[in-house]
Amino acid sequence: MFGSIRNGANAYAKVGMETGVAAASPHKLIVMLFEGALVAIKTAMQQMAEGNIPEKGMSISKAILIIDGGLRASLDKNAGGDIAESLDALYEYMSARLLEANLKNDVKILEEVHTLLTDLKTAWDAIGNGSAGTADAGGPDTTNASTASGKSAGPKMSAYDALAPNKYSFVSV
């Protein structure tokens, strides 16, 4: 009896998550990827401490999948230039370190990758907060800035525009 209730609750949770993803801005999708990877790594740490090797391996695999298939895959290296290339190398490093942590059962490596992801997420959150509310609005701010001559210069695009998926733009103030 309780199994069917649990399955129903899981189905509602899945629908809620899918709805959140469908309604999220591209900036929010990246935030969700960071959060998912961080939760997977924390879960792996806990499972490692408990000696639950199969579950630890699945959590680490989930973190690697999020990093490689989500964060890394969303980079536009053509438009993102050096920043995108650096992030690509960092994501590759994180995935390799997670594999090593899994093989060696090394919680310190998990902590290292967790710290790196936390730092990146903090920076990504700051980009969203500094974009005059455009991250949650689903599109760039289209208000124009004025130049000294009084002519409209259009929105000043952020250097991080190329890092956001789907050609989403952040406007610097």
- Provide the residue ranges of all domains of the chain, joining segments of one domain with +: 8-167
Nearest to 167 by CA among 25, 65, 32: 25
Q: What's the pLDDT band for 119 if we cut at 50, 70, 90?
A: very high
Q: What's the pLDDT band for 24 if we cut at 50, 70, 90?
A: confident
Tell me what the pLDDT averaged over the chain comes to.
77
C-alpha pair distances (Å), 59 with each of 11, 98, 111: 21, 10, 14
CATH topology of domain 8-167: Four Helix Bundle (Hemerythrin (Met), subunit A) (1.20.120)
Q: Is the pLDDT of residue 150 over 50?
A: no
Q: Are the beta carbons of 47 and 56 closer than 8 angstroms?
A: yes
Phi, psi angles (nearest 5°) of residue 171: -105, 125
Lowest mean pLDDT of 66-70, 92-96, 156-160, name the range: 156-160
Rounded (10°) CA dihedral 50, 54, 56, 62: -160
Whole-structure pTM value: 0.66
